[in-house]
Amino acid sequence: MKKIRTVLTLTLTVVMVFSTILLSGCSDNGTSAGTPFSQTLNAEDGVRIWYECQNKIKEEKEDTDLTNLFSSEEETVAEPTVFGRETKVIWIKVYKDGKVTSYSCAENIYLGYFAKMSDEEILKELESNPDKYFIGNEAEPYEIYLYTDATGQEVVFEGVPAQIKMSEDADPMYYMTLFSKETIPTFQVYDSYYGGYVLYNYDETGFAEACIVTRCEEGASFGLDSLDLEGAVVDYATPEDMLHEKNAELKEKLKAEKKEEAKAEGDGETEADEEKADGEADAAEEDADGEADMAAKVGN
């Protein structure tokens, strides 16, 4: 009898331990295993650099709107996707003190170029070469947006919308790429290791061999944030509808500002002058419609 009790006790103990391990690995708060994105932004030195990258880019593009800055055409690849020193860097996001600065790489820049630099050297490189790294936005406060599955219980996508200018003369527009619960295992480039997430478009379609990665320790793992992340925006419409809404509001704001500038430039503005200013503002709005309509894919 004593032997039976011992066996039952051991069996019960094993079941309880297994259950604890199983439950601890479940997404009861909507998160996935690994270091959440938000925690990576709390670096000891206050700076975290993320790279939006792609292995294969189409050489020719028929238009220049933000929806085509990444090549979204699916390609048949026999071998598993391998990221490394020849992975092209499209955007660089520098998170510091609760704000983000976005740099667009104007030239062919590859991950191996940064792998040999310290973060301090990279920041100096970005700040001292404006022709090489165009500043799309600078020190902009940001919010983390979380999007869940059909049940609303598990986070499957995460993103950070931001206002971006694609050139000095262009109006800013909101864009957002999403990263998913599909993560990138750490890979080595020279003496550095990188890891992160598979990159998706704002409409939840995949890019061809695209990722968002950051420098990390060998073997590091990443995951999405949980539903109880403080300050996060959860399931605000869909990513696409959210961008439509934000860009519509931004267009109206920019239109009003241009009208005020036009009025301020001419004393005693006539009705004809005001109609001209309205026409110019409407024309500018129409020019941006193609971008604002499906805005804001990266071109990290």
Phi, psi of 278 (to 5 degrees): -60, -40
Of 215, 222, 214, give the one whose Cα is nearest residue 192: 215
Q: Do you know the residue count of the chain?
A: 300
The one-letter code for the residue type at 111 is L
Q: How do the residues of the chain divide into helix, strand and coil, expressed in percent and rounded to 5?
A: 30, 30, 40
Confidence (pLDDT) at 12: 38
Confidence (pLDDT) at 135: 93
Of 221, 220, 214, 148, give the one whose Cα is nearest residue 178: 148
Residue 157 neighbours by CB distance under 10 Å: 21
Confidence (pLDDT) at 219: 95
The one-letter code for the residue type at 262 is A
In this prediction, the residues of the chain whose per-residue pLDDT falls under 50 are 1-30, 58, 60-68, 75-78, 288-300
C-alpha span between 190 and 84 (Å, rounded):
9
Confidence (pLDDT) at 274: 56
C-alpha span between 244 and 260 (Å, rounded):
25
Confidence (pLDDT) at 279: 56
- The answer to whether 214 touches 196, Cβ cutoff 8 Å, is yes
C-alpha span between 51 and 300 (Å, rounded):
7
